[in-house]
Structure 1
Amino acid sequence: MKNPLLIFNNKGIYCTQADVYIDPWKPVKKAIITHGHADHSKYGHQKYITHHLNIPIIKHRLGEINVSGVVWNESFSINNVKFSLHPAGHIIGSSQVRVEYKGEVWVVSGDYKTEDDGISGVFESIKCHSFITECTFGLPVFKWQPQDEVFDEINTWWQENQDNKMTSIILVYSLGKAQRVLKYLNTDIGKIYTHGAIENMTEVLRTNFNFPNTHKITRETSKAELKGNIVIAPPSAHGTTWMRKMVPYVTASASGWMSTRGARRRRAIDKGFVLSDHADWDGLISAIKATECEKVICTHGYTDIFSRYLKTIGYDARTEQTQYEEDELLDTISF
């Protein structure tokens, strides 16, 4: 590809004409940020541009930064390059970035899912010539069941644990998955308690979203208060002394990785719910087809396998290395 509109270098995805990066992993002068997970929104950039709902998230994580917000489908130009952000459906405030210059259009998807979770915005298909896609779950084995069924399973599990006088602990990512699960918990069953990392992030988002009431677990919280109720905690809390006051408890994880054989056993949890904030195989393929693109660049995930498949169905596909990670790794970071 001669003089592509976007290139990959040692700092991130770079638009030479505009002198701007998208989700750079090293400090740069100007960065367009797709969403608030720590691998896509790094500290140290001189200027940040992102969706307005993502501003409180990255300020909470990064402190006082020079950031401006735009709404979805709002165009802005940098050195004659036209940019706009569009719903990615991954987490609250997550966006795809459309880049246009002299009639050439690229789309950087960031992370995305095609199922509407009710809080993250509905994934928008954008026509383009080149599409940069994640492929975290880029294998045919990954196929998600409808989320309504998963939330019914979670609430049934909680009710059963309460009937057995057990505390339910569900382990989920602090940003994104936690709020998604919280939205659909049945508060008729009992109270919702949270780990500090979950509570702090959710409080940042309450200004714009009507989440159920939660109770942050403190030193004063008693075992009797927790009994029969549900606790939302990050995976990093599992197996720590923080969980002692919840005995007797039952643990669960809500993750796309719960669909793989042995994942629940390796993580030493009692129950696995298959719930991902990323697109499954069918979602990835449908999203790419809807763009009507010619070229696809595959990043972070099963890149080699996924790009080889895309070639068999007629796409000019290749892979690029990035420093983006699967979200669960990020919960070792203190939000």
Structure 2
Amino acid sequence: MASRPDLITRRPEGLYCEAGDFYIDPWRPVSRAVITHAHADHCREGHEAYLAHRDAEGLMRSRVGPDMRLRGLAYGEALQVGDVTISLHPAGHVLGSAQVRVEHRGEVWVVSGDYFVSGAGDANTTCAPFEPVRCDVFITEATFALPIYRWAPQTEVIGEMRAWWADCAAQGKHALLMGYSLGKAQRLIAGLATADAPGPVLVHAAVARLNAAYREAGVALPDVETVTPETSFKALRGALVIAPPAVQDSRWAKALGPHSDAFASGWMRLRGARRRRSVDRGFVFSDHADWPGLLSAIQSTGAQRVIVTHGDEGALVRYLGELGLQAEAFATEYGDEALAGAESGT
């Protein structure tokens, strides 16, 4: 009996499902795009029609344009597209992030997009947590697919950030904490803008715009002040300012006056990455799965075939092969370079 053709394949435009005639997170303009989440490396301009989780709608319109042709689905809602059935399931990465489940004649493939599962057992409190989806083939991200990447409990990392902030305040300095505007910034706000905070919390305008989309989707973020040209940092004491990485060493950052800067990212696990960033502090704080989280997520799907994308594909493919799984890699155009390029415009 002849084997079935692959339900999802890689084309120059992106990951393509021929049976449904659509792409998932394409990196070239296409007619129909299913989007896993609103980060710029996965949600790009130029597609004719978009499908995504309904909570991502505000974020996507703020980045692609208010008049984009977009249909939103609830988690678990089934939609027939061509000869396949699509449903979206929580990925735990950012607001509205979704794994894409595609079923065709009894065969199930799942495309993870970016997702957050931590070996420490944490969940992202600003969006729906990752939900394992049983499937035959799992297409997984591999951003941090090396054993060195193991996240500490997020309460521990938030505590380290708070101690650094308090130390800055004691020295008469503000604290500039940099992280991506979408997802990372909202987690930082949720963890740090509390009643017992060492000082006031302010955010860059790019963060404030995305905060509004979170609140419109029902996420109860703490109230924070937006930095404007009228903000007087001389009148503030021990402020924490949350901003995208592009502000580092900019005129905007210099306007804060005396301050210490830090970067929150999973890449801060590497000493070289901290050194290249040239920041005073690096906090290991990621919205992606760590090594134990990746392995746990893959195991939970029950998939016997795993396709690895964007990250340390080789290491994960080899390890999964040693576990007896059929593992291979797709080359994609996702990742921090594309995302950083989008952030530089904020």
Task: Give TM class, smaller chain.
Answer: over 0.9
Q: 1:146 aligns with which of 149, 153, 167?
A: 153
Matching of residues 47-62 of structure 1 within 5 Å: 47-62=49-64
1:77: which partner in 2? Answer: 80
Give the conservation status (yes or no) of the 8 Å contact 1:136–1:326. no
Matching of residues 139-288 of structure 1 within 5 Å: 139-185=146-192, 186-188=194-196, 189-207=198-216, 208-288=218-298
1:18: which partner in 2? Answer: 20
Q: Which amino acid aligns with 1:262?
A: G
Q: How many residue pairs end up in the alignment?
A: 335
- 1:41 deviates by 0.6
User: For the residues of structure 1 that align with 2:152 and 2:254, how far apart are their CA atoms?
Assistant: 33
Per the normalisation by structure 2, the TM-score is: 0.94
Deviation readout 1:44-66 (Å, 9 max, x if unpaired): 11111100110000100111101
2:313: which partner in 1? Answer: 303
- 1:330 deviates by 4.2
2:142: which partner in 1? Answer: 135
User: For the residues of structure 2 that align with 1:32 and 1:161, how far apart are their CA atoms?
Assistant: 44
User: For the residues of structure 2 that align with 1:226 and 1:181, how far apart are their CA atoms?
Assistant: 20
Deviation readout 1:14-68 (Å, 9 max, x if unpaired): 1101101111111111111100001111111111110011000010011110101
- 1:331 deviates by 4.8
Deviation readout 1:96-137 (Å, 9 max, x if unpaired): 000000010000000001131211211111111100001000
Q: Which amino acid aligns with 1:156?
A: A
- 1:247 deviates by 2.1
2:345: which partner in 1? Answer: 334
- 1:179 deviates by 0.4
Aligned-pair RMSD on alpha carbons? 1.4
User: For the residues of structure 2 that align with 1:243 and 1:47, how far apart are their CA atoms?
Assistant: 38
Moved over 6 A (4+): none
Deviation readout 1:152-183 (Å, 9 max, x if unpaired): 11112212211221100000001000001001
Give the conservation status (yes or no) of the 8 Å contact 2:139–2:307. yes
- 1:266 deviates by 1.4
User: For the residues of structure 2 that align with 1:7 and 1:262, how far apart are their CA atoms?
Assistant: 35
Name structure 2 gaps, 5 residues minimum.
none
1:323: which partner in 2? Answer: 333
Give the conservation status (yes or no) of the 8 Å contact 1:227–1:246. no
- 1:288 deviates by 0.5
Q: 2:91 aligns with which of 88, 92, 96?
A: 88
- 1:334 deviates by 2.7
- 1:227 deviates by 3.5
Name structure 1 gaps, 5 residues minimum.
none
Q: What is the percent sequence identity of the aligned residues?
A: 42
User: For the residues of structure 2 that align with 1:226 and 1:38, how far apart are their CA atoms?
Assistant: 34
Per the normalisation by structure 1, the TM-score is: 0.97
- 1:311 partner SS: helix
In 2 relative to 1, CA 187–224 (structure 1 residues): closer, same or farther, beyond 3 Å? farther
